[in-house]
Amino acid sequence: MRHIIDLSDLTMEEFNELYKLTSNIIDRPEGYTDACRGKVLGSLFYEPSTRTNLSFSTAMMRLGGSVVGFSNPNSSSAAKGETLKDTITMVSNYADMIVMRNPHEGAAKAASMFSEVPIINAGDGGHLHPTQTLADMTTILRLRGSADNMKIGLCGDLKYGRTVHSLIHFLANYKNV
């Protein structure tokens, strides 16, 4: 079982393998239309999301899998006080993996301790957003070939912006950024 909570948990070798697979899927999507046939993604979005939520759902369906879950915690038992532990324990009985966005820092890490299936962190508070960093790095590497010797400007909410935090931490793996 492999969670994606924080990209610092991946070695550069693991990241490079993931990048190669991602590039192959982008270049030859027809070869992956059944890659997730029979698999179910549990999608748990405890806070609003349009792009991230739809990108995961669409990707899973394009890979031949299906999606269950919620995009509004008020439509789940969380509205009645169900704990994160109870929700994750229950959903991991139905899904083969869980993607989760939560407004609380560390929620994805906590979920990984209760889950019987891999947890993918789609944003936890102002902490991290590793899947956005994977998308950003895919764009950078496909356009430039490397992130070495790159100058990058970051703007927006630099203190609470989870996308910025994840990207900065990951770019530290490259030379002269």
Mean pLDDT, residues 128-143 taken together: 94
Q: Given 127, 129, 162, 165, which residue is catalytic?
A: 129
| Res 98: pLDDT | 98
33: annotated active-site residue: no
Q: Given 28, 51, 151, 175, which residue is catalytic?
A: 51
Q: Label residue 1 by pLDDT band (50, 70, 90).
A: low
Q: Is the residue at 93 inside a domain?
A: yes
The CATH code of the domain that includes 52 is 3.40.50.1370
Residue 90 CB coordination number (10 Å): 14
Q: Provide the domain limits for residue 69.
A: 7-125
Q: Is the residue at 109 inside a domain?
A: yes
| Res 27: pLDDT | 97
The one-character DSSP state at 145 is S
Q: Given 28, 50, 80, 175, which residue is catalytic?
A: 80
| Res 115: pLDDT | 97
C-beta separation of 57 from 122 below 8 A = no
Mean pLDDT, residues 152-174 taken together: 87
Q: Is the pLDDT of residue 72 over 90?
A: no
Q: Can you tell me the distance from the alpha carbon of 177 to that of 168, in angstroms, rounded to the nearest whole number?
A: 10
Burial 103-135 (b: 16+ CB within 10 A, else e): eeeebbbbbbebbebbbbbbbbbbbbbbbbbbb
52: annotated active-site residue: yes
175: annotated active-site residue: no
CA angle 128/45/59 to nearest 5° reads 85
Counting the structural domains of the chain, the total is 1
Main-chain phi, psi angles of 14, to 5 degrees? -65, -45
Q: Is the residue at 84 inside a domain?
A: yes
Q: Is the residue at 72 inside a domain?
A: yes
pTM over 0.85: yes
